[in-house]
A and B are shown apart, each in its own frame.
Chain A
């Protein structure tokens, strides 16, 4: 590899979003250390850096372009995913501000970790080389370990962090081992080079092993059944805004990396049965996620299982990597960010001992006592269950449409059947919100300041806007997918 072109002209503008976030995070830590009394300024400053990073996406116009010796791509799809990560990060940040303040654990480090984690995800979506993806994944994972355990005084938080750390270490091991085998078989870790190799060589058993290892590792990050058991425990223990972020953003980053991997392997996929394995994982996720969610009374655990099911839906689209399917996944992740972080956000507003589970009883009657929170949670539930006119419907419709057009009618059929099951437990939340009176003296207050209110408003408007007028988003996603697959 020639070192000369490593720093192509324009590379600063190209990675300005990452630089702004990473630099902003360091600034925040220093700021908190030197001005410890100005805690109230931390979240606004972090928000400004997030917004600046989103704005800087527009500075780079020549798309797509490749930097750092063919390892780093800036293109419409990475911009779309960057914006998803930033959206997820900002929503989590806003909910976290009020949550941390209430729990008295606000710290510049929290926001800094959120920002570095976002940088890690950006690397995963832009990396054209498996090693860059892994680098991003590790940056992200380390941030997650700390964020999950951020509520130090709470035992479940520490437990969750340890659980995620141990399991995550194994998962990374699988991915690294898989990468090594890919390198051994194809002679490269670069997606383009791997694609060229796959185009002219048949598959080997070694590659099957590599693929299985990769799917196990990525499956863990995606909380795809059967690699999901960590998710409910970790979400339950993690500070609630972190759980919301964790349930969305890392999954989005992993999915775009998977798209690149699947795309590189596209020439051999028709000759091997690897995708049947992925289809099995998808079906298993939809069934396990939706079936087990029914018996959950803890809202965070329920959302964890629902998240497992939703990853199953997203994987349906990836069974055949086409323009439409990539666009469908991009649209779905944005929708999922809005509705799932919104749902976790409302849960994060419940004032109670964080060691205790947040059960359905805690939201009883909330729809009439805290009207906007109740309405927002209900809307998120309708969206998660895929009912029109919410974004959840149109995104799910996109997924199933892609699946049928790719000929995966059976998987789509199972997806529909499990969706019917899912309606039951999502509606149960609405039942508690509007039709159940809180038990005497058991009413849990939901309190949030202007930050949480703002985040919730963004989520509500986003869910409705995408649901009612999805066309611009489809166009952007469709264009991005077309450029990616060229």
Chain B
């Protein structure tokens, strides 16, 4: 069986079998979920062994007719942009099952099924090379997440679950309209119905249509990221979701938004992306600072980490809209970093919540003495999130800021203060929770972190250090794809004057404003289409 299909369908196949487990076999269910999600991870490592570092296009390509009448294919492929995101997904799901082994008591079967379905949906969204296939997976992941928040969540879970769902669906339904319109325009021009992403890159659009479509797509992904001011669903969803839900939400689901910008918004609407770079950068910087400032004053640990996500995701978007090699590579790396560090933070907050049933900073203090091992892991996760040199966060943020500085020094300057703020609020959190005298009686004998929780955190820590010490392992595999993406953007949209590539890295906003809608560069449309077709992928 082809590798990508195997990775994609293993989790949901396991879920299907799990549905027939007898209700009493709870340990068997947990073991089943853990085993098959771990097996998926092992299988997904096959991507690394067969990886071609020099290829920019999709690798491991699979393609089958799905709805031939409309040119919709079951097309899968993985490139430098998605490789690490797929691996991050398959890596985290077994760890979630492992960490939640003891705390999962309510409806374990449904919980595990929901996560396995979610895993397939997330992997599918990353792997799809067909726009409609992507959309199907993109929406499919909402349903299990809605149930996970709504069934296993906290006190205010219903509100959070519905808010999460309505926010996301609003964006994605408008995008669906955009998808149909885009594919129709393409069909109109080429005479061949297709939804393949690579084919749609060459679609010619009127400036108005392109702008509307840009906003339809950007809105869907901006809600998902979430970019300020569309972020309001995130703190609610994070706080109410169970630990596993928070981890998946932060580590993978939010990345759908940033991934969407990289895969769809930038290459489909390069001119519009350049034109609105100022807006997107401003919003990201506001998000970075706003998220950090709000995180600073949170009395609730989980909410603090949630707002720190808003801030960190701002960096990712900033790097993307720097639109140069450094910024985008940093952004992709930062997506993985954020998945690891914030995932670990949510996991550890979950550990302590399990024991004390409170997440308020004020209820803790000095527990480094009662939970020394836990404290070590927590501090490592915090330092990784802060961006301490030697850990992963530093590399990602450094690359993003370096890339942004080339594109827009002012935005970079403001964003840098976000790094400082992150250090303040996260170290503040550590100080409040772990150090100082123990003032509350219950904190004197909290059991330390358990074996299964350690087993879940250690792999994350390993990768935090690995990325921090030797990021090139990761960067080298994404480099050709990112370079290809950057050239695609620089070439510009097929029917409008290409951007002045030389000036792009300097001040994209200014260039965009001055760019005249001159005569269409004949033939550049086909050239773009030809280049963006996955080059000779197996």
Contacts and interface: CB of A to CB of B under 8 A. Distances in A.
Contacts, number: 79
B179 to A, nearest CB: 9
Contacts of B402: none
Contacts of A405: 184
A412 B179 CA distance: 13
B150 A431 contact: yes
Interface string B96-140: 000000000001001000000000000000000000100111011
Contacts of B165: 423, 427
Counting contact residues on chain B (CB < 8 A from A), the size range is: 35 or more
A434 B169 CA distance: 20
A112 B500 CA distance: 75
Contacts of B150: 431, 434-435
Nearest to B175: A416
Contact of B166 (A387, A393, A413, A424): A424
A471 B162 contact: no
Given A368-B107, A401-B180, A420-B166, A475 B69 contact: yes
A420 B69 contact: no
A430 B149 CA distance: 13
Nearest to A413: B177
B162 A424 contact: yes
Nearest to B147: A434
Given A435-B150, A478-B69, A388 B162 contact: no
A400 B175 CA distance: 12
B135 A388 contact: yes
B70 A401 contact: yes
Interface string B67-101: 11110000000000000000000000000000000
Contacts of A478: 69
Nearest to B124: A389
Interface string A313-355: 0000000000000000000000000000000000000000000
Interface size class of A (residues with CB under 8 A): 20 to 34
B142 interface: yes
A400 B69 contact: no
Nearest to A436: B158
A433 to B, nearest CB: 10
Interface string B167-181: 001100110110011
A151 to B, nearest CB: 35
B161 interface: yes
B157 interface: yes
Contact of B157 (A388, A397, A412, A435): A435
Contact of B173 (A389, A419, A431, A434): A419
Given A397-B176, A405-B184, A434-B151, A427 B162 contact: yes
B66 A423 contact: no
Given A427-B162, A435-B161, A470-B67, A416 B146 contact: no
A310 to B, nearest CB: 16
A427 B107 CA distance: 20
Contacts of B162: 424, 427, 431
Nearest to A385: B169
B122 to A, nearest CB: 14
B65 interface: yes
Interface in A435-486: 435, 469-471, 474-475, 478
Nearest to A428: B162
A262 interface: no
A401 B165 CA distance: 24
A400 B176 CA distance: 9
A176 B139 CA distance: 46
B184 A404 contact: yes
A404 B67 contact: no
A475 B70 CA distance: 11
Interface string A401-422: 1001100010011001001100
A388 B139 CA distance: 6
B143 interface: yes
Given A387-B142, A435-B150, A475-B69, A412 B161 contact: no
Given A388-B136, A430-B146, A471 B177 contact: no
B69 A416 contact: no
Given A387-B139, A388-B136, A435-B161, A471 B147 contact: no
Contacts of A431: 150, 158, 161-162
Contacts of B177: 400, 404, 412-413, 416
Contacts of B176: 397, 400, 416
B180 A388 contact: no
B69 A435 contact: no
B158 A435 contact: yes
A469 B133 CA distance: 12
Contacts of A245: none
B240 to A, nearest CB: 11
Given A389-B136, A404-B177, A416-B173, A427 B184 contact: no
Contacts of B70: 401, 474
Nearest to B106: A368
A423 B180 contact: no
B355 to A, nearest CB: 26
A470 B74 CA distance: 13
Contacts of B142: 387
B139 A416 contact: no
Given A368-B107, A423-B165, A388 B140 contact: yes
Contact of B181 (A409, A424, A470, A475): A409
B184 A401 contact: yes
A243 B430 CA distance: 61
A199 to B, nearest CB: 28
B17 to A, nearest CB: 16
A150 interface: no
5 contacts: A387-B143, A389-B140, A400-B177, A434-B147, A474-B67
Interface of A: 368, 382, 387-389, 393-394, 397, 400-401, 404-405, 409, 412-413, 416, 419-420, 423-424, 427, 430-431, 434-435, 469-471, 474-475, 478
Given A388-B136, A427-B146, 12 more contacts: A368-B107, A389-B136, A401-B70, A404-B181, A413-B177, A416-B173, A416-B177, A420-B169, A430-B146, A431-B161, A435-B150, A475-B69
Interface of B: 65-70, 107, 110, 132, 135-137, 139-140, 142-143, 146-147, 150-151, 157-158, 161-162, 165-166, 169-170, 173-174, 176-177, 180-181, 184
10 smallest CB-CB distances across A and B, nearest first, come from: A388-B136, A435-B150, A388-B139, A474-B69, A416-B173, A401-B180, A404-B180, A420-B170, A471-B67, A416-B177
